[in-house]
A and B are shown apart, each in its own frame.
Chain A
Amino acid sequence: MTQPTPAPTQASTSPAQFPVAERLAEIVGERHVLSRPSELLVYNSDGLPGYRRQPRLAVFPGTREETVAVVRLLAAEGLSFVPRGAGTGLSGGALADDIVVIGLHRLKKIISLDVANRRATVEPGVVNLRLNKHVAPHGLLYAPDPSSEAACTIGGNVAENAGGPHCLKYGVTLNHVLAITVLLPSGEVVELGSKVGERDGYDLRGAFIGSEGCFGLALDITVKLTPKPQTVRTLLADFTSIDQAAHVTSAIIASGIVPAALEFMDGPTIRVVEDSIYAASYPRDAEAILLIELDGLEAGVSADLEAVRRICLDGGARNVKVARDDAERMKLWQGRKKAFGAMGRLAPHLIVQDAVIPRTRLPEILATIRAISEKYGVVVCNVFHAGDGNLHPNIAYSADDPAESERVHKAMTEIMQACIDAGGSITGEHGVGLDKMGYMEAIFSESSLNAMCELRAVFDPERRSNPGKVVPVHACKEWHAVPGGRLRTGTSSLTDAPEPRPVEAEPSHPSAR
């Protein structure tokens, strides 16, 4: 593996002083290549404050042809790169450590919309919400709805196998992507899956989804669209105890009703949201709220609504409020979707976790999280996709205070261990990236990690696409001798999970995007 052509790192470099930059500029135009450290600052983090990596160079192709030419040039030079969408990722996945960033946000064409067959083909830089706005007049929607939908790209969604509140009923990105045209790191273009039907052969499209930029770059994506439900009803149930809300969540799931969404916010999160510009009139004195959405045919929804209301009240809900109209629904959702942003107000840094647990274990794990937070004197804000058991325990803190950092780090490690011990996973939707690599060995055996390395090697034998992410390099049997590798590897055990690094500059909070 070779690193970018040596160039002064401190002094500002113009494309002229940097041969590859110059040649990239010939492909995409000078305006679309950044190589000065000051210009590159914007690209030194993603949505997860706490990690910073300075790219060597950033290039922003404007067309598919330019993208192919850029990747072929990098392949010829043996240079590594990181694909980047909107940079809203929450695992440090889009960070480029002294290598090239290929920003794809200019590839934002909706290539085709086929209403009769309920599918659309888009370029990777198309923003999730924009696709939804585009198809809405046809009575259709694109189901995966990450809370970052207003900013994140479909390419990033595919790379992370993104989820969202409505994935409880509708499934995640994986269940909605039919085909992907992939630009392999070698510069070769391949079509995975099928735009028209169901292919046989190995499900390489399935393998690519969630590959976090390590298998190459998605050039266009064909997604399945879903008819808009006839009726949507949203309930807000509030509780004076976390435990009651957790039990009600389990009871709703066990009842067999599949809500479109079932979201959980605890007291600290409610109050943070209510103090922010996203205030949604949540009851400030509640210890937990459940935001429950039911959709489908009017008659069926009404019946389920009654059943869910009963389960909430029987489970100790103080109040169950049903949104009267769309405006009220949107307001209830706004508070949930902007909760991470609102947390940014608490303290300069934020750890966002993404563990998944079996749904029946929710009451117990939430009690454990509370005990851990008390033990370490940290405030954990829980806001998560409860119906899927996908937790987001978040801790706002100041990384400038080493003692606090240590307590936060220890608390988070214990929380993750509790989720793993419960038979869960370390990430439900944000991906492993850089942030969760240290936990991979806690849930996968050496041979499983090696099988993942082998799969990656098929797509990217030289490991030039997003190197050093997802699977710790030392877990890959054949990769131990990486020539000239300046890859930053993961740490080897759970207890040395990579610590969020103190940052030099003002952290960017998701809310700023």
Chain B
Amino acid sequence: MSTEAVVSAIKESGSTRSSLRIAGRSTWLDAGRPVRADKTLSLRHDSGVVSYVPGDLTLTVRAGTPLSEIERVTREHDQWLPLDPYGSPDGTIGATIATASAGPLASSFGLPRDLLLGLEFVNGRGDVVRGGGKVVKNVAGFDLSRLLTGSWGTLGVITEVTLRLYALPKADRTFAVALKGSKKEVASLVRAIVMSPLTPFALQLLNPPVVRALDIGEHPVCLIRLGGNEAAVDVQLRALSSLADSKEVDTAVWDGLRNLENGAECVIRISGLPASFREVSAAMLSDEYPWISEYIDPVRGVLRLVLRAPDDAAASEDSVLGIDPAGRPDEHVVFEKLPGESWDGIPSAVSDSLSQGVKKAYDPHNILNPGILGD
């Protein structure tokens, strides 16, 4: 597999007006709306490092490179790509960028758009296009890299990406604070932690089903990842101790959290003003619905709901969670994964005329992942 192979696959589809399902390693093909495509174009074999100069803290890889491979390669030089999307680390970087998937580290290291320096893609006409560059700062030309990030393969097939890396922290420790007491007490503790001078790598509030699945207790938990030099972690740990009791847990707990979503039938992400999540989080962390896993990033302002049993999911959507697909004016509801029929009536996020204009320009024959964004 190479860029040329992607070009010829797309050109052939264009000439026969047949559509393509774009796939990485197919670990998350059930995300997004159902796609009806004639063929699958998989990038799984287009994998590997194109260039890596550790001193530059930048890495260029082919799109089919699994995240786990990036982790392995960079770790050899005491570096990492602080991007930990939920789901499997076997997923590819191309798909991660295409779906703009992020995980707990996003609240401190940013979203995929913030870690991406440049990319190469093949548009729906088979043209090879590059956006951005390979250096850490760049404003040459219009920003095609951001445009492609989160476009779910509908504007082009990403073939190569350049990313910003960081040095692995000297210390990287994770602590669990049990959230006990009344809703009010929990809310004020969460607020105190978020507004404190702590600068955690990641901070997540987990409801009891998640806590049990990760085997770190019974009560809802505030999971805090502190990283940096030893002194910075120690001082933060002292600050944390002054706010609440905490116990150290294995940092591998974060992998457990990421993997929790594998095989889930239904994943919903709600984002809004961070402060509103601090206020309501106490109520959301209740133990009333054991089939719903919930975790909240109160710094970033994101709540994820993961439902395993399809019947419960369908039943609970409106009545239990009160989620209106259109969202409330102060929040956005993004359905990452739903049982097929549940998509009906959920509005597309790309139906506006600018988005439609971009789609027409980049994929005029509508052959790339048709339907995945509901347009």
A residues with a Cβ closer than 8 A to B are 114, 116-118, 160-161, 163, 167, 171-172, 174-175, 190, 194, 196-204, 206-207, 209-211, 214-215, 227, 230, 250, 253-258, 296-300, 302-304, 356-360, 385, 388-390, 423-432, 436, 439-440, 443-445, 447-452, 454-459, 470-471
Contact = CB atoms under 8 A, between A and B. Distances in A.
Contacts of A450: 127
Contacts of A203: 100, 113, 146-147, 149-151
Given A202-B355, A257-B167, A357-B135, 17 more contacts: A116-B273, A117-B275, A160-B139, A174-B143, A196-B331, A197-B270, A197-B331, A203-B151, A214-B142, A230-B197, A253-B55, A254-B57, A360-B55, A436-B140, A448-B130, A457-B357, A458-B358
Given A206-B146, A429-B139, A452-B141, A199 B361 contact: no
A308 B244 CA distance: 34
B56 to A, nearest CB: 5
B53 A431 contact: no
B131 interface: yes
A191 to B, nearest CB: 10
Q: Which of B150, B302, B373: most chain A Cβ within 10 A?
A: B150
A221 to B, nearest CB: 16
Contact of A452 (B144, B329, B334, B354): B144
A440 B115 CA distance: 24
Contact of B358 (A118, A190, A202): A202
Contacts of B348: 201
B334 A200 contact: yes
Interface residues of B, number: 75
Contacts of A388: 136-137
Interface in B119-166: 123, 127-131, 133-144, 146-147, 149-151, 155, 166
A451 B127 contact: yes
A451 B129 contact: yes
Contacts of B57: 253-254, 359
Contact of A117 (B135, B229, B274, B355): B274
Contacts of B354: 190, 202, 204, 458-459
B147 A202 contact: yes
A388 B166 CA distance: 13
A5 B58 CA distance: 51
Contacts of A175: 110, 114
Contacts of A116: 273-275
A379 B68 CA distance: 49
A356 B55 CA distance: 15
A196 B332 contact: yes
B86 to A, nearest CB: 14
Contact of A200 (B140, B330, B349): B349
B253 interface: no
A360 B54 CA distance: 9
A258 B166 contact: yes
B312 interface: no
A184 B348 CA distance: 22
Contacts of B371: none
Contact of B301 (A197, A204, A458): A197
Contacts of A470: 141-142
A444 B140 CA distance: 9
26 contacts: A114-B273, A117-B274, A196-B271, A196-B272, A197-B302, A198-B332, A201-B150, A201-B350, A201-B355, A202-B147, A202-B155, A202-B358, A214-B142, A227-B197, A230-B197, A296-B199, A296-B232, A297-B199, A303-B230, A359-B57, A390-B137, A444-B141, A448-B129, A449-B141, A451-B144, A458-B358
